[in-house]
Amino acid sequence: MSQAGLLYPDDSSIKNLHEKLTKAAQDLNMPDRHLRRLLNSPGRFPDFSLGIDGFFMDFSRQRLDENALSLLRESQTLSNALKKFSEMTQGKVVNPTENRAALHTAARGTGPSPLLFKDMDVKAQMQQVNEQIEQFCLSVHEGKISSASGKPFTQAVVIGIGGSYLGCEFVYQALAGADRKMDLLFLPNVDIDNFARVIECIDKETTLWIVISKSYTTTETMANLNQVSTWLKDQGVSPKDHMVTITAKGSPGDNPDTPVLASFHMFDFIGGRYSVSSAVGGLPLSLALGYDVFKRFLDGCRIMDTHVLESPQEKNIALTAALISIWNILYMGYPAQAIIPYASRLSRLSPHVQQLYMESLGKSVSPEGKLLSRPAGTIIFGEPGTNAQHSFFQLAHQGNAFPIDFIGVKSPGYAGIQAMSKGVTNHQELWANLLAQAGALALGRNSDDPARNFDGNRPSTIITIDNLEPESVGMLLSFYEARTVLEGFILGVNPFDQFGVELGKVMAGDIRKEMAARNQNPSYTFACESKTDNFYLDLLFRK
């Protein structure tokens, strides 16, 4: 599938559009186009906001006008982004460099039924895995599947890195108010102190270990698995009686000769960073919160999927967010984007979107291997509000500007007693800060004291969800997935491969061999190609 787009223009229409967008950005950089004036224009709020039941996006504080927005929508038309998104949900190959489909949406029931890919009914296969998850979790919760000591499992630890844990961790923390059936911990980092912290928090006799790796060869995950297995044996606990795997069919983790309590399949048409709605998130979340909660989360994902598929571009929330992101990066020249949820339970949203976005769009070539006109993607970072205000908002207001997604939740998860401070509740105070920050960034404030002058004209979007129930969290996750995919299609990059992570892994393998040689022979002289690496290895092994 051709991925021609704004960064890989293969025809005059796209080149001409790029020139028009560049001119529109120049116009909006004029002093008389400050956000103070844009916000006062008639109909600004209704014309620059979109919503569906349970999800609302206000982009009236973006440095956009109707002309720029209309031109950006042309980029969607020329790149066929919405058509490609639809084809993605139908099982077409949208990852040409790996000859794969991208069917994370099918994991929540989006797309036609049956949904065939390589003679496989994708939905039927994933439904079979979900039924296996439901039955396994029910057996664990009822004590029919128990630990080697006969005690019920009370905790679970996810051994996995990157997409094998980030999305799941975000959803788990976001749904922390649900009735918890088991505590869920995460062991992603190969750092031994990550392991040490985990074992400090668990009961070895009642902990279930969930190993997540598609190939079952991921170096960090396998190192942590070996560390956990060694520790369990030292503690007199049989690893096979306390472990389950989530892996590709036929991988080393799906080997009957290496028995575990259960093995659940993941598929090569779902990339790690898009996998939380598959078994990768389904098993841990169902163990921790119950399968019914996971199903409700999937329902929320499907609601947003359906909106993206069925809404025209003028009403399409995720598409509009993708267009705004492109505008801010390519034409307004902002160096980064921040995601600031004003809800502590959404604290792991930013790290999840970091991987989702930066691994998907951090590219320098088209799917056909042609150099882009400039590297794609930007830096994504974030921290919950109001913490962020006391961390990096000095830069946000008076340093190098960057656009911000402010995320507000109408109803907090906590329903207990709420004190009043200065006449408002904590939740109202939270919202006062969210609205004030968005307003201050946009409007600024003039002062005769240069140190106290605020230029304003700094863009932001306010996204609101109704609550922190599973459906709302699912909609939020699916929104950022769809936004990322559509942005990739419009730019002309493949949002589903990630070859950029490979070189460091290869080089680590060479260094690892040097370390192993010294472990076997204390007199071995390091022979890395880099003398600097030899210096650090000598330092590491020095007694």
Q: What is the DSSP string of 214-283?
A: SSS--HHHHHHHHHHHHHHHHTT--GGGSEEEEEETTSGGG-TTS--SEEEEE-TTS-GGG-TTSHHHHH
For the chain, the residue count is 543
Per annotation, catalytic residue among 15, 240, 249, 505? 505
**Cβ 343 vs Cβ 407: under 8 Å:** yes
371: three-class secondary structure by DSSP: strand
Strand order in the sheet with 262-266: 183-187, 155-159, 207-212, 243-248, 262-266
- Helices 166-174 and 279-289: crossing angle in degrees, nearest 10, is 30
For 314, the 3-state DSSP assignment is coil
Q: State the Cα–Cα distance between residues 247 and 278, nearest whole angstrom.
A: 11
- Cα–Cα distance for residue pair 332/140, rounded to 1 Å: 53
Catalytic residue among 15, 240, 390, 513: 390
For the beta carbon of residue 197, count every other beta carbon within 10 angstroms. Answer: 13
DSSP string covering 147-177: -TTSPPP-EEEEE--GGGTHHHHHHHHHTTT
Query: What DSSP assignment string belongs to 78-131?
Result: HHTHHHHHHHHHTT---BTTTTB---TGGGGT-S-SS-EETTEEHHHHHHHHHH
CA angle 514, 543, 229 (to 5 degrees): 60
SS3 assignment, position 142: coil
The catalytically annotated residue of 359, 383, 469, 471 is 359
Catalytic residue status for 142: no
Distance CA 302, CA 475 (A): 8
Phi, psi of 26 (to 5 degrees): -60, -40
- Write the CB contacts of 91 (distance below 8 Å, at least 6 apart in sequence): 101, 103, 106, 111, 115, 116, 117, 122, 269
| Integer angstrom CA distances of residue 447 from 37, 39, 453 | 19, 21, 5
* Whole-angstrom distance, CA of residue 417 vs CA of residue 427: 12
Helix 291-310 and helix 122-141, axial crossing angle in degrees, nearest 10? 150
What are residue 450's phi and psi, to 5 degrees? -55, -35
Q: How far apart are CA 415 and CA 140, in angstroms?
A: 30
Could you confirm whether 359 is annotated as catalytic?
yes
The contacts found for 258-263 with CB under 8 angstroms, 24 or more apart, are: 260/211, 261/145, 261/208, 262/132, 262/136
- For residue 408, how many other CB atoms are within 10 A of its CB? 20
Residue 390 annotated as catalytic: yes
Q: Decide: helix, strand or coil at residue 383.
A: coil
Q: Which residues, 6 or more positions from 521, have their beta carbon under 8 angstroms from its beta carbon?
A: none
Looking at the annotation, which residues are catalytic? 359, 390, 505
